[in-house]
Structure 1
Amino acid sequence: MARYEDLPYRTCVGMMLINPQGLVFIGRRAGGIEHVDDMHVWQMPQGGVDPGEDTWEAAKRELYEETSVQSVEKLGEVPDWLIYDIPRTVAGRAWKGRYRGQRQKWFAVRFTGDDKEINVTHPPGGHKAEFINWRWEPMKNLPELIVPFKRPVYERVVKEFAGLADG
């Protein structure tokens, strides 16, 4: 087994879905070995980029697979790749021990549909549900709701997209 320090980062995308009122979609995770308590189980949609896949296309795909949402307008993206390490205590069990964390490209989109479009418990295409519930949340609250090791990434995403929450 490779040493933790030698493991690569998994290439991923994240989506901040903002409604017309300037609130952000967050989903309550269905589970995961990284969860430390019941408060820090919320996150924005995110997921892996397939080999050769464009990051914007991957972000739209992941959003659809996790939320059923397709009614969006692109608002922006974080220019840098944001990186986080998963705790060493779970590194061997997450992603079959192949990665030490994630390298993420983040996008912000305006939700132009109706809340009835959102379906996290029965995602399209037979995908496994990532979330068991969802809600709209003020953007400033997001870093406090995520597992602590992802907090710096969420703080940066909130800082980058803060001006987009004006509705």
Structure 2
Amino acid sequence: MIDEDGYRPNVASVIINKDNKILWAKRVDEDNWQFPQGGIQKGETPEQAMYREVYEEVGLKKNSFEILGRSADWLKYDVPERFVKTYWQGRYKGQKQIWFLLKFIGSDDLINLNLHDAPEFDDWKWENFWHPLQDVVDFKKEVYSAALNELWQFVETEN
């Protein structure tokens, strides 16, 4: 499902622990790291999609995190043509995402990347909140910067 502008509705989740470190996950068989994210299915709200995607990709159930905040609007990125498949009769441009900031309230052993036959990630780690801006694939840097800057207002910091 894509919108009239060629963007696929999607959700992305920044999961932070008690130390305000983010869960950073490595895509299977690649050296690319990212946040859990995925498409919004027909009839799903962004929040419902977030819960489903977080469970499918990193194994966390609703009771293992709290929603601290979300982006006020869609944040978009274009996918380079070399990565675009022939979906949607060539109308696909990229993703438009609602971003969520989630506070992890469980123990690390709840994180499970192998719930499905074809997992999306094969490794994960806790990183500094701003680390993704130097590590994410180039075409996502701008949207990651916008999302992290917007979500930072919801992070509890000790002053």
TM-score scaled by length of structure 1: 0.83
Which amino acid letter does the alignment assign opposite residue 78 of structure 1? S
CA distance in 1, matches of 2:88, 2:48: 22
User: Quick one: structure 1 residues 161 and 145, their matched pair in 2 at CA, closer, same or farther if it must change by over 3 Å?
Assistant: same
Is 1:77–2:70 an aligned residue pair? yes
Is 1:63–2:58 an aligned residue pair? no
Identity, % of aligned positions:
37
1:87 aligns to what?
80
CA distance in 1, matches of 2:53, 2:105: 17
- Structural RMSD (CA): 2.1
User: Quick one: structure 1 residues 82 and 52, their matched pair in 2 at CA, closer, same or farther if it must change by over 3 Å?
Assistant: same
Is 1:12–2:5 an aligned residue pair? no
Which amino acid letter does the alignment assign opposite residue 137 of structure 2? V
1:10 CA drift (Å):
0.8
Q: Give unmatched runs, 5+ long, in structure 2.
A: none
Is 1:101–2:94 an aligned residue pair? yes
Is 1:157–2:147 an aligned residue pair? yes
1:23 and 1:137 in contact (8 A); partners too: yes
Q: Give unmatched runs, 5+ long, in structure 1.
A: 1-5, 33-37
1:50 aligns to what?
41
Which amino acid letter does the alignment assign opposite residue 59 of structure 1? M
2:108 aligns to what?
115
CA distance in 2, matches of 1:131, 1:95: 26
CA distance in 1, matches of 2:143, 2:117: 26
Is 1:148–2:146 an aligned residue pair? no
Q: Deviations over 1:74-100 (max 9, x none)?
A: 100010100000111222367895621
TM-score scaled by length of structure 2: 0.87
1:72 CA drift (Å):
0.7
Which amino acid letter does the alignment assign opposite residue 145 of structure 1? D
1:85 and 1:101 in contact (8 A); partners too: yes
1:24 CA drift (Å):
0.3
2:121 aligns to what?
131
Question: Which of these residues, 18, 21, 26, is aligned with residue 19 of structure 2?
Answer: 21
Point out 4+ residue stretches in structure 1 off by more than 6 angstroms.
none
- How many positions carry a matched residue from both structures? 152
1:105 CA drift (Å):
0.5
